[in-house]
Structure 1
């Protein structure tokens, strides 16, 4: 038996492990670009993504209320706001909605798309101001840990100076799937 064979096998397995999340990310971006819910559905852990949005929005709501004087109305507003946010997130974070969020990129564009469409978030125009096709593209991607992978993507309607959307993929059941979407927070917001 050749003594190099185990090292070759280990090298091939390691290379496959490193390449696998990049392949999964490429397939996720392709599914987003296609706009086909059937392609996107199995690539996303929907309960986890919805909970992440709820946590982000409830945290932002709590931060706004914390600056208010102590009174019962602020607590009531926070409780009602959390309930409304939960319902809105459940209704909007669908394959179509997630496609719109990733393609639109920024929170203000995603919110405008949500308000303008009764079926969730709509996709932005597929061309930039000069008529050239713009596609969702990966700005940066790398491992956070052995089973966690983060990517920053910029939507087709975003300029290079706009902050990217951050996606987290987790290795679950032998597959890399999207578990979290972090919308960019503009620096002028508190």
Structure 2
């Protein structure tokens, strides 16, 4: 009888029951909001406008070995908008736009995560803006660098779906498509 057979059985059992950690497994449970960003672009009078939101809270529970069990949430303080013009920032807080007196925050709560391969994921969830909730799917790429996970994602929203820019702004002066990008930075746990 081969004397290596018992050793091979023990090794196979250890692998089958997960006694050896996966070198590529990572878990992320905290977002570094200072290093993270939320930005957006839109067209106004055929010119591209860039803006950011400076204040937000993000939570994350994401394990690369079980991404389907992941969860993410985001709360954006809409008064923290910055499009490079104080007048425009003030205008965007008025009732025709974000109406920050009545709706000071926008929120996202994930409802599912699907692994797409090559560190790409689709995160679905409920986005609430101006009291209107829509389901959205967000494609996300996870870049892992020196025990830090960088979750890069982008999606395009229609402002009319959330009644943003009503009245005189409902025409084509400002594009209906708003392109949102985010970069959430999370240390590995």
TM-score bracket for the superposition, by shorter chain length: 0.3 to 0.5
Using the size of structure 1 for normalisation, the TM-score is 0.42
Using the size of structure 2 for normalisation, the TM-score is 0.42
Task: Pick the structure with greater CA Rg.
Answer: 2
More strand by share: 2
